[in-house]
A and B are shown apart, each in its own frame.
Chain A
């Protein structure tokens, strides 16, 4: 099993390309031996976090995503590089918070000089 490997992806910040980010997460997780339940959780988490960054209809710019493979699971980091409102603080709705708490082991969103970003950790069952 690969440890400490990394996959990187940068896609336009629109729903059809964020779907690619979701599928990539599923592909990497599959390689790490995640179960179907865990892969589905991961897909839900990526959807929710991308929705937080770009909304339902997308926005001008890109989202750079890094998939960091670890022996115990997968860390996904995403950063939005947007032409508009680059410095805003991303906020998770109460529903999103509730969802993310159920489907990830760790999760946060924050603003930063490069743009709003998220980080999640999904552990694999032993």
Chain B
């Protein structure tokens, strides 16, 4: 997002002129010049079950609002001014539209807060915190905490979700008898690797570490440098997709 000094001056002039004239042509030019910022911020909201293109559209709306409201006379860089507006627009999108099940705002906001609460607690305790401990730290009831965790799993599963409509019993299990464990194990590896290999690299890693290596979600979070809540969400989403492909093994 770095502009060279001459570009910067030119943009500043355009902003000053636009603030006076509200010329739509200038407005378009200003939006186009900063579209990279919208894309950059939209990218930070991927992995939440929403297509990147949709997110860019939402971010662009935020950018447009920022262009309209920016006052160049106050001496602020436009990107500094626009970032919170664009991020706000993205967050609102997830609050208003991204939740498949209506979740009260109070719970949504608790959900957003929980990632850091859980992170801090895990670090202090040296283990995964209990729900009671999380509730106390977040000044919320255990029910609210559970609801907020549940809410994190309620994102829409859009394009990645396999279409249903084929309800016959095409599960992998239907082909399996009750053979001894060793056979099932070897069969597992053969059957499961292609299923898992369809996932993005990070999801593959999480599935492998959790279900084959037996690491806990907290341990995986620490290893990958993301929050436990995020691991939990990615796992839940991957499992929904796995079940879909188990029913429709196309």
Chain A residues near B (Cβ < 8 Å): 19, 22-23, 26-27, 29-31, 33-40, 43-44, 47-48, 51-52, 55-57, 91-99, 101-102, 125
Contact = CB atoms under 8 A, between A and B. Distances in A.
A91 B176 contact: yes
Q: How large is the interface on B (under 10, 10 to 19, 20 to 34, 35 or more residues)?
A: 35 or more
Nearest to B212: A98
Name, among B164, B191, B210, B216, the residue most crowded by chain A CB atoms within 10 Å (CB to CB).
B216
A91 B244 CA distance: 16
B210 to A, nearest CB: 6
A38 B218 CA distance: 10
19 contacts: A23-B146, A26-B131, A26-B150, A30-B132, A30-B142, A36-B228, A37-B128, A40-B232, A44-B239, A56-B243, A56-B247, A94-B188, A94-B191, A95-B172, A95-B191, A95-B246, A98-B188, A98-B212, A102-B211
A93 B195 CA distance: 12
A36 B102 CA distance: 23
B146 A35 contact: no
Closest 5 interchain pairs by CB?
Answer: A91-B173, A30-B131, A35-B128, A37-B128, A93-B172
B211 A30 contact: no
A96 B246 CA distance: 10
A27 B192 CA distance: 32
Given A26-B150, A47-B239, A95-B242, A35 B188 contact: no
Nearest to B162: A56
Given A36-B118, A36-B228, A98-B211, A93 B246 contact: yes
Contact of B218 (A33, A37, A95, A97): A37
